[in-house]
Amino acid sequence: MKNISIDISEIAIARKTLAITQKQAASYLSVSERTWQQWETGQRGMRSSYWELFLIKTDYKPKNSNKIIFSEFDQKDIRHRQQSLAKITHETEQLLNRNKKYKFIDLFAGIGGIRKAFESVGGGCVFSSEIDPFAQFTYYTNFGVVPYGDICKLEQDDIPKHDILCGGFPCQPFSHIGKREGFAHPTQGTMYDEILKIIDSKQPRVVFLENVPGILNHDAGNTLNIILRELEDRNYDCTHTILNSSDFGVPQNRKRFYLVCFLDDGVDFKFPKPPMQKSDIGDFIEKNVKGYTISKRLQKSYLFKKDDGRPNI
């Protein structure tokens, strides 16, 4: 992080500018007045996550450059300091989301597609994990949070309690384009075991898993049977289906397997019926964007070698 220390003078200036008492300032962060006093006097260091939350809640804009700006991270920072940046950005995220109506974790997070969906209906993400460094940077760019890395190296204490466990665990062992090695795969086949370890430790009320459609018939159905049996042995009631994103108005023909499991078997869950709303990419791209079209002269010179109206590409 470029600047993670909070200048004590900045803390006092912020409070006085807002014309609030130390007690009122402390209430924004649900800490004691004594804690705030210690922050202002320098007897105790103020965590950057608390400072960032205070800025958000009060809409205070510091006049100097000491304000923590997570967008200052670049890919090099994340590559070399991934673990420490994951810790500090998660601290802020967990503070911001502590009052959400439900909390979820995002495993094998990719660039955050599943997270985006759960946030859109009121959920708060309190933990994320993704091993690919390029996906980590894109995830950070999208959400301001650096995911933790290899799920096999996580400490259970790093993962907070949550209501929903989300995971799009690795597709390759179950994909028709992969080697179809399933759980015999020497590395990726163990990823499901890592999910089970978290389930055993945290007991989430809901488990939401996504995979490729080929999981249904992999190893004559044995792979899916293993997945379901392990969850049912842990008292989860499981329902699964195949959904195609193109049936929901997305301009992509992408079928995926979805598995939803409830610890409370009294939940009457049904998958949504697709609206069968078809669309194509032309419905989404911008029209007449400046700088993204070429002149008639260049079209004729570079795209059309013959004046027959047909592009030479």
Q: Which residues are catalytic?
A: 171
All residues at 6 or more sequence positions from 41 whose CB lies less than 8 Å from its CB, including other chains:
8
Helices (H), the chain: 8-18, 22-29, 33-41, 48-58, 75-96, 113-119, 133-143, 191-202, 222-232, 296-298
Tell me, what DSSP letter sits at residue 207?
A: E
How far is residue 19 CA from its own chain's centroid? 37
DSSP assignment of 100-157 equals SSEEEEEES-TTSHHHHHHHTTTEEEEEEB---HHHHHHHHHHHS-PPB--GGG--GG
Whether the Cβ atoms of residue 70 and residue 96 lie closer than 8 Å to each other: no
All residues at 6 or more sequence positions from 99 whose CB lies less than 8 Å from its CB, including other chains:
124
What are the contacts of 243-250 at 24+ separation with CB within 8 A? 243/271, 243/274, 244/274, 246/278, 247/274, 247/275, 247/276, 247/277, 248/274, 248/275, 248/277, 249/275, 249/277, 249/278, 249/279, 250/279
- Identify each DSSP E strand in 191-307 by its residue range: 206-211, 237-244, 255-262
> How far is 75 from 84, CA to CA, in rounded Å?
14
Q: Which amino acid is at 142?
A: N
